[in-house]
């Protein structure tokens, strides 16, 4: 299977060129964190998409990844990664593995990643893609609202779906001195929110404007 995948996936000069253009576009839109730009420049985004989208994989667009879900825009991935300010070796919990693209960017930033996905089909596919690309990441089929108490506390928590509210379990599983990045809202768009955990009960909350996400839904899908 892995061999088959490797044969299918080729990172050509053309792809690398498109990726560099995408990075230049992100820089132009205000992403200035060099470690984030370099991680994005490293990951072949087209590996995570259906063959139909290979030619357009480096445009600033969201694409369907199955079961009604979408891969996040590259700008959104870059923006959330920049807000997280990952340091090498940090323990990161990601909610919404999706196709695994954002997960791989976190790995390239040196994070130890645990990622939860509630759609079985996406969980299976992302696990396969990430392992074929040799990323050492723990993926789970489950409900992100509950987090992952067995591995808490986390240095950073990233939610990649639109949450109607900030789940208490996720607040509790954040380290003191840690940061959570979560889009909050139930309407057409969500407000990108970052929370810095000052103490057990005190969070410094910052808001960073509107983004569009698929909704964070409760319970595992079957």
Q: Which residues contact 156 (CB under 8 A, 6 or more apart)?
A: 84, 86, 90, 91, 92, 93, 111, 174, 178, 179, 180, 181
Q: Which residues contact 150 (CB under 8 A, 6 or more apart)?
A: none
Task: Say how far apart CA 180 and CA 94 lie, in whole Å.
Answer: 10
Q: How far is the CB of 180 from ligand SAH (least distance, A)?
A: 15
Nearer to ligand SAH, 97 or 179 (CB): 97
Nearer to ligand SAH, 96 or 178 (CB): 96
Task: Say how far apart CA 113 and CA 103 lie, in whole Å.
Answer: 7
Question: Is position 162 an interface residue for ligand SAH (rule: CB under 6 A)?
Answer: no
Active-site entry in 35, 72, 104, 189: 72
Q: How many CB atoms lie within 10 A of CB 61?
A: 13
To the query of whether residue 131 is one of the catalytic residues in this protein, the response is: no
Nearer to ligand SAH, 177 or 186 (CB): 186
Which positions from 130 through 159 interact with ligand SAH, judged by CB under 6 A? 143-145
Which of 46, 54, 69, 127 touches ligand SAH (CB under 6 A)? 69
**Positions that interact with ligand SAH (CB under 6 A):** 65, 69-72, 95-96, 98-99, 101-102, 116-119, 122, 143-145, 160-161, 214, 216-217
């Amino acid at each position: 299977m892995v061999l088959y995948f490797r044969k299918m996936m080729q990172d050509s000069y053309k792809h690398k060129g498109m990726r560099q253009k995408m990075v230049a576009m992100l820089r132009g839109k205000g992403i200035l964190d060099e470690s984030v730009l370099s991680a994005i420049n490293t990951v072949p985004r087209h590996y995570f998409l259906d063959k139909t989208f290979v030619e357009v994989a480096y445009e600033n667009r969201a694409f369907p990844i199955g079961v009604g879900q979408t891969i996040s825009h590259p700008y959104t991935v870059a923006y959330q990664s920049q807000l997280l300010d990952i340091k090498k070796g940090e323990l990161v919990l990601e909610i919404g593995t999706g196709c695994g693209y954002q997960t791989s960017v976190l790995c390239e930033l040196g994070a130890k990643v645990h990622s939860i996905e509630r759609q079985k089909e996406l969980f299976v596919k992302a696990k396969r893609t990430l392992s074929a690309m040799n990323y050492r990441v723990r993926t789970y089929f489950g409900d992100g609202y509950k987090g992952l108490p067995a591995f808490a506390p986390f240095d950073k928590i990233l939610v990649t779906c639109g949450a109607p509210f900030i789940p208490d379990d996720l607040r509790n599983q954040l380290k003191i001195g840690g940061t959570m990045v979560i889009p909050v809202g139930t309407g057409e768009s969500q407000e990108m929110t970052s929370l810095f955990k000052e103490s057990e009960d005190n969070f410094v909350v910052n808001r960073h404007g509107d983004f569009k996400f698929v909704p964070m839904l409760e319970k595992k899908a079957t």
